[in-house]
Structure 1
Amino acid sequence: MTSTDPITDFKNECAERIASYPEKTDLVEAARAFNIASNREKYSYNFTWMGRPIIQYPQDMIAMQELIWRIQPDLIIETGIAHGGSLIFYASLLELIGKGEVIGIDIDIRDHNRREIEAHPMFKRITMLQGSAIDERLVEEVKKRAVGKQTVMVCLDSNHTHEHVLRELELYSPFVTVGSYLVVFDTIVEDMPARMYDRPWDQGNNPKTAVWEFMKQTDAFEIDHAIDNKLLISVAPEGYLKRVK
């Protein structure tokens, strides 16, 4: 139904279009083919944010921007740092909002990456912790730093095995506040051809299988399928989990 408000009308048009995409078989198949071919060719490694490699798909970063602007988090926790591009990305959005900080966790923060991140103007909103994301002592340190934060978002992007991601989900989901998101990256592994990665993860053993298992254990989160339908091209299908209670 058309309203008298053009802004509302536009939002409704977008929502209706996005909801129709799962039925657009040509679009869905084209996106699936691109997801497979681009993952094989390491497409995500080609992008930077404010000078740092981000190793993410632009589509997912636009989705993250939309969520962060809407949620306005006081704290974003991310497991997995790599070159630090996503930490810089989140910190820059918080800088625009005018509040908030980012905690990045990695078992091995390489010296050259640490130097570049610490020298970046957005580092003022970033804290880096070195250690395993599933080390409960490190999680306790994160818990201390989260005290008093009203709105918290969590992003998981470290070791992608089922066992590791499931444990991350169990440990970090309590930090996520109602209405905010827990985003699990690289769930796309389950949708790729078997043995495509020279890593411990593969079909049947990856972040998406961990999400499926986690969702059996909780009713506090829902998979936001509207984001999946909108993006189509993403490394995190079924990985955008909204806390609803």
Structure 2
Amino acid sequence: MTDFTRQVHERILNNGKDLPLKHAAQSFLLESLRACYSYNFSWLSRPIIQYPQDMAALQELIWATRPDLILETGIAHGGSLIFSASMLALLDMCDAIEAGRTMDPRQSSRRVIGLDIDIRAHNKAAIEAHPMFSRITMIEGSSIDPEVVEQVRTAAAGYSRVLVCLDSMHTHAHVLAELMAYAPLVTPGSYCVVFDTIVEDMPQGSFPDRPWDKGDNPKTAVWEFLKSHPEFEIDAMMQDKLLLTVAPDGFLRRKG
């Protein structure tokens, strides 16, 4: 560990103990969620509906784990799919440079699979017209439908490094079912990232027009899942690093 890396590590550990800093971050996070702050950003022209801090975290995880398959539940405008595809393209480019060969992106085996129960026609058309689309497969249907789960498992067979991101329906039951279905696809050392666990930390009734709330949300699903899946652990260092994240307790690393 270099001096700089050690200093970063120590700062992150200190972040986790710095209550005034954490309270300030939480205050901003709650106020910015009310202001729909995450809707202000895009990735390569497509709305991504994520916090920049979480985008930076995913970039770090993708570079560190070097997946050849990224599975995402929830598509919306497609920004996250484009983000993941572009990260995989960068991995291919770097692999080619290190190997001293010319890269042909059409021959890459790295892919992104995106699931959504309703892929809007205008979003689908925009995603399909994007330069990154050659790396993307979209599946329309409920992410917990047994037929969709089996389709994904079949498509994921043969990939040696898999990263999963869950960001669709945010109820406890739905996210727990997604974890049961897709967390087993995550390869040792890689991650299952569960978004919007922040719902548990928000005031009761913050989502009057949604079926999720405090006590019934992705974080409660994560806690329940971990009771019977000791092969996964919460990467607390990631949330202490970010401070601003919609996925507290949601960065799940598979041991090994």
Normalising by the smaller structure, the TM-score range is over 0.9
Extract unaligned runs of 5+ from structure 2.
93-107
CA positional deviation for 1:8: 1.3
Determine whether 1:231 maps to 2:242: yes
TM-score relative to the length of structure 1: 0.96
2:217 to 202, 206, 213: 206
Which residue does 1:16 correspond to in 2? Answer: 10
Distance 1:92 1:22 in 2: 31
Describe the SS at the equivalent of 2:61: helix
Aligned residue-pair number: 239
Distance 1:229 1:194 in 2: 24
Q: Which runs of 4+ in 1 moved over 6 A?
A: none
Extract unaligned runs of 5+ from structure 1.
1-6
CA positional deviation for 1:22: 2.0
Which residue does 1:122 correspond to in 2? Answer: 132
Distance 1:220 1:22 in 2: 24
Which residue does 1:154 correspond to in 2? Answer: 164
Describe the SS at the equivalent of 1:179: coil
Distance 1:171 1:158 in 2: 14
Distance 1:25 1:182 in 2: 27
Q: What code does the residue aligned with 1:47 have? A: F
Describe the SS at the equivalent of 1:108: coil
Distance 2:229 2:66 in 1: 25
Which residue does 2:55 correspond to in 1? Answer: 61
Identical amino acids, percent of aligned pairs: 61
Which residue does 1:175 correspond to in 2? Answer: 185
Describe the SS at the equivalent of 1:60: helix
Q: What code does the residue aligned with 1:162 have? A: H
2:153 to 125, 143, 148: 143
Q: What code does the residue aligned with 1:229 have? A: D
Instruction: Map Cα deviations across residues 147-201 of structure 1 (whole Å, 9 max, x no partner).
Output: 1100000000000000000000000011000000000000000001111112110
Describe the SS at the equivalent of 2:165: strand
CA positional deviation for 1:9: 1.2
Q: What code does the residue aligned with 2:20 have? A: D
Instruction: Map Cα deviations across residues 68-104 of structure 1 (whole Å, 9 max, x no partner).
Output: 0111101000000000000000000100111511000
Describe the SS at the equivalent of 1:222: strand
Distance 1:172 1:148 in 2: 15
Distance 1:171 1:25 in 2: 36
1:84 to 73, 78, 84: 78
Q: What code does the residue aligned with 1:207 have? A: P
Distance 2:193 2:51 in 1: 14
Give the RMSD, CA atoms, in angstroms: 0.8
Describe the SS at the equivalent of 1:234: coil
Instruction: Map Cα deviations across residues 217-242 of structure 1 (whole Å, 9 max, x no partner).
Output: 11110000000100110000000000
Which residue does 2:143 correspond to in 1? Answer: 133
With 91-100 and 55-64 compared, the bigger mean Cα shift is at 91-100
Q: What code does the residue aligned with 2:53 have? A: Q
Distance 1:186 1:11 in 2: 29
Which residue does 2:96 correspond to in 1? Answer: none
Which residue does 2:254 correspond to in 1? Answer: 243
CA positional deviation for 1:144: 1.2
Describe the SS at the equivalent of 2:2: helix
TM-score relative to the length of structure 2: 0.92
Q: What code does the residue aligned with 1:138 have? A: V
Determine whether 1:163 maps to 2:173: yes
CA positional deviation for 1:145: 1.0
Distance 1:23 1:158 in 2: 32
